[in-house]
Chains A and B, each alone.
Chain A
Amino acid sequence: MSHSSHASQPTHGADRELLIGAHDYGTVTDRIAGVVLNQRGHPLPWFAVFALAFLLLNGMMLTITYLLYRGVGIWGINQPAGWGFDIINFVWWIGIGHAGTLISAILLLMRQQWRTSINRFAEAMTLFAVACAGLYPLLHTGRPWVAYWLFPYPNVMGMWPQFRSPLIWDVFAVSTYMTVSALFWFVGLVPDLATLRDRARNKVARILFGIGALGWRGSARHWSRYEAAYLMLAGLSTPLVLSVHSIVSFDFAVSVLPGWHTTVFPPYFVAGAIYAGFAMVLTLAIPIRAWYGLKDFITDKHLDWMAKIMLATGLIVVYGYVMEMFFGWYSGNPYEGYLIKNRMTGPYAPLFWGLLICNGVVPQVLWSPRWRASVPVLFAVSLVVSVGMWLERFIIIPVSLHRDFLPSSWGMYVPTLWDWGMFIGTLGLFFFLMFLFIRFLPMISIFEMRDLVLRLRGHRSESREPIAKSTEVEPV
């Protein structure tokens, strides 16, 4: 195994744009910790969004209560479309989570300094998105109170899970992903919790932060193991995140259904996940940095990078569409051919064309540096991409299912009010958790921002000399 410092690139001119204003260790600490420690400083939009999210969350609770009372029959799923909103939204949410891991792990390995001010926030997004995603298969089992049957444990029934099914792979992938993401997030938080412990005036807050900080004291020995562990976690999370969405894609691809069974699915799903995830990071980061006065830390340069990644992953997704359509035709298989035709001209055709516009056409404005620099345009594009990626899952799931091999089994899938209630409810849950996080935990990694100050400015903002020797790489 190898690890090296995530420092080390010479400070480029462009990197200076990652932190604006005269900041030193003290001011970055104050500004970020202040959001948590000064509980009176929360702007009105926080209360507005939080209240709305809370309302939607309660709507979700009602939906779930009725679902447990009546069963999954209240949803629009039936033969032939046995998978509907439950799987669409599962895939959509889990995909959104993937950008968080990408930012915190892959960009760390690539030594991209611009990750520093958005990684914490994106990791939290991962956790909450995976929590939303997890609800769907859990409830779709129909009897969530025995969901533990999915795990392999010796039981009196004498049965074991069936390891040749991708659905059981999913159980392992999603629970591993949730666990490792939570660990990664917590490990990153420990030094910051120590900062909050040392600065909190409120006694209860001090005790709570103190428990979370585990007695962290910033010892050099601790830091050295800490950095090694953090880097190895990043190295583990990177293939993990690829595996999770690949396994989600196997749920479809290892079947024999046209529209599901195609070999390009794993990389194409992963790219789509990152695409949707970056859209969500932008959707959240743009308003929050304005409300909390964090434009010095989440700068226009960050938005520009995220826009570029969105464009790149969007193009990979479009590549996936091209491959699906071309080989659907090339195969010469009548069922494959019909699927493509049904997508383009069938009863769900408007959704298909909407998907191409949202995912394929609109994001192309990001080629222009001028459009990328416009925050309203970025915000709008990120919303469009979120819609597009949701439509993509709709096109993949019910549109492939509703025309079975036998025309006598054809049907339609129409989501019910309860489906919508559940979907909008998870949006509520997501924003509810996200806004709680923003209020009670540091949304930007404080110690890594101090590290960035050291790296970009050599402590004081007056001196612009990077500290040469001490920040050089030391591969091990």
Chain B
Amino acid sequence: MSAATVHGIIARYESADALLSAARQARQRGYRRMDAFSPMPVHGLSEALDAEDFRLPWLVFLCGVAGAALGYGLQYFVSVVDYPLNIGGRPFHSWPSFIPVTFETTVLLAAFGAVFGMFAMNGLPRPHHPVFGAPGFDRASSDGFFLCVEATDPKFDREEVKRFFADTGAVDVAEVDE
């Protein structure tokens, strides 16, 4: 099997702490194309992998601003421009009455931004991924903590990576097919 058909080498650790420290060491070793898998969020792991992403809050903020503009704009267009009606003598541009709906559209679009933005940035839904083929990977959704160094990493060397995993206390080490 040539390196091209291998997705990477994956190791399982016993605890969140072991995974976190292995990830930090791997980073110090110079591995860059890595991913870790855990059954719940492990704080500090994305920093350890240098995989933090701060775009999402901005996306949500911009979606919220767009929601506010659309909501208010819609009401203004409907009540002032396209279909002005006298309702109990209130002005066409009744800004106090427009606040509740503006608020709702702001929240709605911001929430869309948060959820769909998060899934899109995560590349989900994605029915299959090579790591699912790793032996025992179903434990990643209950009690297994995995670290995978991918074959595309510039410093990737099968034996070297395996040795590194063994040194950092991995319980199981396996190759993941592409």
- Tell me the chain A residues, 1-48 only, with Cβ under 8 Å from chain B: 1-3, 5, 7, 24-26, 29
Choose among A165, A224, A450, A470 the residue that contacts B20 (Cβ–Cβ < 8 A): A470
A-B pair count, CB < 8 Å, reads 218
Contacts of B90 in A (CB 8 A): 164
How near does chain A come to B92, taking the closest CB pair, in angstroms?
9
Contacts of B74 in A (CB 8 A): 152
- Tell me the chain B residues, 115-164 only, with Cβ under 8 Å from chain A: 115, 117-119, 121-122, 124-129, 131-132, 138-143
Tell yes or no: B97 within 8 A of A by CB: yes
Q: Are A214 and B143 in contact (CB under 8 A)?
A: no
Choose among A5, A214, A218 the residue that contacts B38 (Cβ–Cβ < 8 A): A218
For residue A163, which residue of chain B has the nearest CB?
Answer: B75
B positions within 8 Å CB-CB of A: 15-17, 20, 23, 35-47, 49, 51-54, 56-58, 60-61, 74-75, 78-79, 82-83, 85, 87-88, 90, 94, 97-98, 100-101, 103-105, 107-108, 110-112, 114-115, 117-119, 121-122, 124-129, 131-132, 138-143
Tell yes or no: A204 within 8 A of B by CB: no
Contacts of A474 in B (CB 8 A): 43-44, 47
How near does chain B come to A161, taking the closest CB pair, in angstroms?
7
Q: A214-B125, A470-B20 are in contact. Are A451 and B138 (CB under 8 A)?
A: no
The 4 closest A-B pairs by CB, nearest first: A1-B57, A229-B118, A214-B125, A224-B46
8 interchain pairs, CB-CB under 8 A: A26-B142, A184-B111, A215-B128, A217-B131, A219-B37, A220-B36, A220-B51, A243-B100
Choose among B39, B41, B111 the residue that contacts A195 (Cβ–Cβ < 8 A): B39
Which candidate, A140-148, A166-174, A300-308, A357-365, is the interface stretch facing chain B?
A166-174
Q: A198-B142, A217-B132, A474-B44 are in contact. Are A459 and B83 (CB under 8 A)?
A: no
Contacts of A210 in B (CB 8 A): 127
How near does chain A come to B132, taking the closest CB pair, in angstroms?
7
Q: A194-B141, A224-B52, A240-B107 are in contact. Are A450 and B39 (CB under 8 A)?
A: yes
Choose among A176, A221, A476 the residue that contacts B108 (Cβ–Cβ < 8 A): A176
How near does chain A come to B122, taking the closest CB pair, in angstroms?
5
Tell yes or no: A162 within 8 A of B by CB: yes
Q: Are A160 and B78 in contact (CB under 8 A)?
A: yes
Q: Are A172 and B105 in contact (CB under 8 A)?
A: yes
A59 to B52, CA, bound (A): 54
A165 to B85, CA, bound (A): 12
Tell yes or no: A232 within 8 A of B by CB: yes
How near does chain A come to B85, taking the closest CB pair, in angstroms?
7
Choose among A2, A220, A226, A476 the residue that contacts B42 (Cβ–Cβ < 8 A): A220
Residue of B87, B139, B141 with most partner-chain A CB within 10 A: B141
Contacts of A454 in B (CB 8 A): 16, 40, 42
Q: Are B122 and A222 in contact (CB under 8 A)?
A: yes
Q: A1-B61, A162-B85, A215-B128 are in contact. Are A176 and B107 (CB under 8 A)?
A: yes
A26 to B22, CA, bound (A): 22
Q: A164-B90, A198-B138, A221-B53 are in contact. Are A229 and B114 (CB under 8 A)?
A: yes
Choose among A5, A195, A214 the residue that contacts B126 (Cβ–Cβ < 8 A): A214
For residue B18, which residue of chain A has the nearest CB?
Answer: A459
Q: Are B124 and A224 in contact (CB under 8 A)?
A: no
Residue of B45, B101, B126 with most partner-chain A CB within 10 A: B101
